[in-house]
Structure 1
Amino acid sequence: MTATTAPAAPRGLTSRGPVNPWVRFLARRLFRFAASLLGLMVMAFVLIQLIPGDPARNSLGITASAQSVAQRRVDLGLDKSLLDQFGHFVGGVFTGDLGTSFNLGLPVSEIIGQRWAETARLAVLAFLLAVVVAVPLGAAIAAATSGGRRRFLDMAFTSVTGLAYSIPGFLLAVGLSYVFAVRMQLLPIAGTDTVSGYVLPVIALAVGPTAALARIVRLETLRVLGEDFVRTARSKRLPTLRVFLRHVIPNTLTPTLSMGGLMLGGLLAGTILVETIFVLPGLGSTLTQSVTTKDYPMVQALVLVTGGAVLLINLVVDMLIAVADPRSTILEG
């Protein structure tokens, strides 16, 4: 008798039965999130060590004696090896203790809790403005220029959005401040005590992402308009608005969600310079001050919190894309 070999189990099956693709997808994404978070902790710790200068000397001033500086280093835990300092940092992250600010003498988590809302509010407002403007604008331009029509409008849209996207946010913030706050005196140059105080910083943050998202929506809308199912819907003489709402817009959802997630993460990072220019009490201006004063715990925590928020946003976007389009390759990779 010849021994027979059992056939290999089909892909996605094990001896315990089929593995749900959603379970595999979620496990992969959570593993990547955890690995990225660990890499972010390493980067946050290493990069701050590369900043020249002594935090102990900086906190005491240049006139402090060498003995006072040495004692200050002991008090701050800077006399320990870098490996011990990193272990203390990681342990604090998992226990919720992000340390105490070298300069302010307050718990870092307390400072972040007070200033996080300002940064989140600014980023979300800029994100909503970008989406509200970019999605209908990109779809309208695509509808107006499909089939090679209105080439001048197509060229004008491409040129204007390309220029808007290329202008750095901080440069736009300075220009807006000079025109609308200094020269015309229509809006406040700093602070957010009133609603008008958010106008200039939100616009400065939103212009670039709006231009980028509008271009993506236009390209995806043109692609969908060329699909057979859209031509079939048009041949049935369905109203144009109905064709767009039922067939075109839903099929542009996946790339729009992907771009939106990247955009929101970029807006969180982009608030740093804008908050500094408009003197807003958010995480961006706090990070700038902390780097200048070499406040190690503050910088490490801010990099970790901001980067972790971006990673979390990307994780949520991946899940939304998978739910919106289960046929996408996101469930396979």
Structure 2
Amino acid sequence: MIRFLLRRLGSLVAVLLVLSAVVFLLQQISPGDPARAALGANASRQAVDAERHRLGLDDPLPVQFVRFIAGALHGDFGTSYRTHRAVATDLASAFPATVELVLAAFVIALVLAGLFAASAALRWPFAGVYRGALLLGATAPPFLLALGGIILFYAQLDWLPASGQGTGGVGSAVSHLVLPATVLAIAPALAIGRILRAGLETTLVADHVRTARSKGLGEGAVLARHVVRNAIGPALAMAGLQLGFMFAGDVVVEQVFSWPGMGNYLANSIPTSDYPAIAAVTLVLGAVYVVVNTVADVLQTAADPRLA
């Protein structure tokens, strides 16, 4: 197990280094001049040249890359051209909102996935209706699902707010969170639920499960002791992938619901060519994705040590 953890840690560092190199190169080949963007379109050529020198943009690329890595390791991503604040300060306010949204969506996705898998594997009544509704929701584009939720639950029923994070206490925060988190959870719930359903159906007909039933164990005990643990490994891996995708793919949801997170911050930074902000968000979301999948691999190996 220790060797496996060391291998995964080495892979984590290598992937993050490659991601940093890709982001750095994309900054270099992107159209536009960061110095010009920082000073404005009306700045003189002399002022732009001086700004390029101050930013170190006329240094050799290897020197710039080392400085980029060193800054990222210390949480220094430069100053946003749009907000004129340190990017790290902007991220410090946007990142918790994104974490709140994604973790709430992940919990909802796990609940929906568990219901999807159990209803299919155990042949619950009306399981087909639930699976059909989840499949329909997962195939709809996120922006369409979000708009449909706003029209139904805000405009028609007036049950839930349509935008913002909510600042009026726990009840307000939860009510503002329900719609965007559910929209973000639908597609991951179907992906995780399908893998878990396949694992449950395969394990339920395995020999050791038949033996456990023949010994007089109740169905609940059989499921808890002999079925779930053997079926959950692939679902854990898929859950890790989907959690990473949720961090990387919540831009649309945050935009539609005006959620003040990193996705919204990134979407507002792209039209203004705010390179430091774009690079920082890309690195942070990429790092979160890699770390989450590493943790999922470790959990999967803990559930089934044969994978180490």
Q: 1:222 aligned to 2:201? A: yes
Partner of 1:308: 287
Deviation at 1:158, TM superposition (A): 5.7
- How far, CA to CA, are the matches of 1:174 and 1:277 in structure 2? 8
Cα distance in 1 between the residues matched to 2:29 and 2:141:
26
Shift of residue 292, structure 1, vs aligned partner: 1.9
CA contact (8 A) 2:81 2:274 kept: yes
2:142 matched to 1:163?
A: no
Q: Displacement of 1:220 after TM fit?
A: 0.8
Separation in 2 of the partners of 1:177 and 1:77?
47
Kindly state the Cα deviation for residue 140 of structure 1 after the two structures are TM-superposed. Answer: 2.6
Q: Please say if residues 54 and 294 of structure 1, whose CA atoms lie closer than 8 Å, have aligned partners that are also in contact.
A: no
Instruction: With the length of structure 1 as denominator, give the TM-score of the two structures.
Output: 0.82
User: What is the CA deviation profile of residues 169-188 of structure 1, one whole-angstrom value per residue up to 9, with x for unaligned ones?
Assistant: 23312222233223443322
Q: How many residues align?
A: 302
CA drift at 1:36: 0.4
Work out whether residues 161 and 212 of structure 1, in 8 Å CA contact, stay in contact via their aligned partners in 2: no
Residue from 147, 170, 174 that aligns with 1:174: 147
Please identify the structure whose Cα radius of gyration is greater: 1
SS of corresponding position for 1:181: helix
After TM superposition, give the deviation of residue 59 of structure 1 in Å: 4.0
SS of 1:292's equivalent in the other structure is coil
Give the Cα separation in 1 of the matches to 2:29 and 2:253: 25
Alpha-carbon distance in 1 for matches of 2:11, 2:281: 21
- Spell out the pairing of 1:37-186 with structure 2 (5 A cutoff): 37-144=16-123, 159-186=132-159
Q: TM-score, normalised by structure 2?
A: 0.89
What code does the residue aligned with 2:89 have?
E
Cα displacement (A) at 1:247? 1.3
Distance 1:68 1:274 in 2: 40
Once the two structures are TM-superposed, the CA of residue 157 in structure 1 deviates from its matched residue by: 6.0
Aligned mates of 2:293, 2:60 — CA distance in 1: 35
Percent identity of equivalent pairs: 40
Report the CA distance between 1:45 and its aligned residue: 1.4
Runs of 5+ consecutive residues of structure 1 not aligned to the other structure: 1-21
Deviation, 1:25, is 1.0
Task: Give the CA deviation at 1:301.
Answer: 1.5
1:108 Cα offset (Å):
2.0
**Counterpart-to-counterpart distance in 1, 2:199 and 2:243:** 20
- Quote how far apart the aligned CAs of 1:89 are: 0.3
8 Å CA contact retained: 2:98, 2:247: yes
Residue 191 of structure 1: how far off its partner (Å): 0.4
Q: Who is 2:163 aligned against?
A: 190
Q: 1:264 to 1:76 in 2, by over 3 A?
A: same
Bigger mean CA deviation after superposition, 99-108 or 264-273: 99-108
Q: Which moved more, 1:205-214 or 1:132-141?
A: 132-141
What's the C-alpha RMSD, in Å, of the aligned pairs?
A: 2.3
